[in-house]
């Protein structure tokens, strides 16, 4: 019987990759919102089924930076959890 080889995911690499992907998506969304605020609000309203005209919306560079940092942290945690889970379940 052939020996089964299992690829191990490098946890550190997956964590960094998740952070980069999260930050990149956040930055692209921020560019889209700043570039086309009307279309962005229409898309968000359709996505979340709410009337954004009742909620005050403030766009600022600080909000973008905080959003990028938050998305990077969430992406890093997600990448870490995926790698650790995969390595755990890939064991024989």
Whether 83 and 20 have beta carbons less than 8 Å apart is answered as no
With 60 as the cut, is the pLDDT of residue 1 above it? no
Domain boundaries, the chain: 12-89
Site of tokens 């064991």: 91
Q: Chain-wide mean pLDDT for the chain? A: 85
Q: What share of the chain has pLDDT > 70, as a percent? A: 77
Provide the 8-state DSSP code for 50.
S
**pLDDT score at 41:** 74
Cα separations in angstroms, 47 against 36, 37, 69, 81: 16, 15, 23, 27
Q: Kindly report, residue by residue over 22-57, the tens digit of the pLDDT.
A: 999 999 989 988 888 778 777 777 766 666 566 666
Is the pTM for the entire model greater than 0.75?
yes
């Amino acid at each position: 019987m052939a020996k089964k080889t299992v690829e191990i995911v490098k946890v550190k690499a997956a964590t960094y990759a998740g952070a980069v992907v999260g930050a990149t998506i956040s930055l692209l969304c921020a560019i889209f919102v700043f570039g086309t605020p009307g279309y962005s609000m229409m898309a968000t309203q359709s996505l979340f089924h709410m009337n954004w005209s009742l909620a005050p919306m403030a766009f600022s560079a600080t909000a973008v930076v905080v959003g990028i940092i938050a998305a990077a942290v969430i992406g890093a945690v997600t990448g870490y959890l995926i790698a650790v889970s995969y390595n755990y379940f890939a064991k024989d």
